[in-house]
Amino acid sequence: VLTPAQIKSICQAILDSGKQYAIKKRKPFPLMYSYYGTEYLGAAHGLSSILQMLLSYHEHLKPSDRELVWQSVDFLMEQEQNCNWPPELGETIERENELVHWCHGAPGIAYLFAKAYLVSKKPQYLDTCIRCGELTWQKGLLKKGPGICHGVAGSAYVFLLLYRLTGNSKYIYRAQSLFPVNLIKMEHLLYTRQHCFK
């Protein structure tokens, strides 16, 4: 739908915004963003999905800008805390309040490292992606509904991603094992509580 020139100009706007913010806030890495004043890291509002998008169109970036993206990917990888990432830059994860959702945490950030691996073929990115999946499996079912953002489907998708990356049938088993629970939970919420989902 978009022409290469349009894609290039969107990527340039994203890069310019990230560079300006990082300089203004004196960040020790080249690209950063804030959303309503918060420096989010996760997939819903944060750095990880912005970098994932830029990597998806890396062939449209200048080599110097591509390098800034990789530096930021590596910076984000260094922010890992026991296979997870805090919602906000600089936060320490408290185990009792840990978020392991697509929107905040490993199940969403996994997609950035999957893309980084597919583009670079560097094994450290695949290893990080696998650690995201292990934590998602260890934490088990989310109790916040069947959706993607912070629900069961968002966790299940990580295993479909890992299956496609590795071909390991362990991951398809894990994705399938979340699926029936997801449907039962959705049916319960829709028909018992008469609750509507977006």
Please answer whether residues 77 and 117 qualify as being in contact, where contact means their C-beta atoms are separated by less than 8 angstroms: no
Choices 45-53, 82-90, 101-109, 183-191; region in contact with Zn ion by CB under 5 A: 101-109
Q: Which is nearer to Zn ion, 30 or 86 (CB)?
A: 86
Residues 6+ apart with CB under 8 A from 146: 152, 153, 182, 183, 185, 186, 189, 197
Helix (H) or strand (E) holding 75, with range, is helix 63-78
- Please state, in angstroms and rounded to a whole number, the distance separating the CA atoms of residues 149 and 147: 6
Q: Kindly state the smallest distance separating residue 198's Cβ from Zn ion, in Å.
A: 11
196 annotated binding-site participant: no
Please answer whether residues 41 and 87 qualify as being in contact, where contact means their C-beta atoms are separated by less than 8 angstroms: yes
Asked if 60 touches Zn ion (CB under 5 A), the answer is no
Q: Which is nearer to Zn ion, 18 or 147 (CB)?
A: 147
- Please state, in angstroms and rounded to a whole number, the distance separating the CA atoms of residues 189 and 117: 38
Residues 118, 119, 149, 181: which binds Zn ion (CB under 5 A)?
149
Q: Kindly state the smallest distance separating residue 150's Cβ from Zn ion, in Å.
A: 3
Asked if 103 touches Zn ion (CB under 5 A), the answer is yes
11 annotated binding-site participant: no
Residues 115, 139, 150, 174: which binds Zn ion (CB under 5 A)?
150
Total of residues contacting Zn ion (CB under 5 A): 3
Asked if 172 touches Zn ion (CB under 5 A), the answer is no
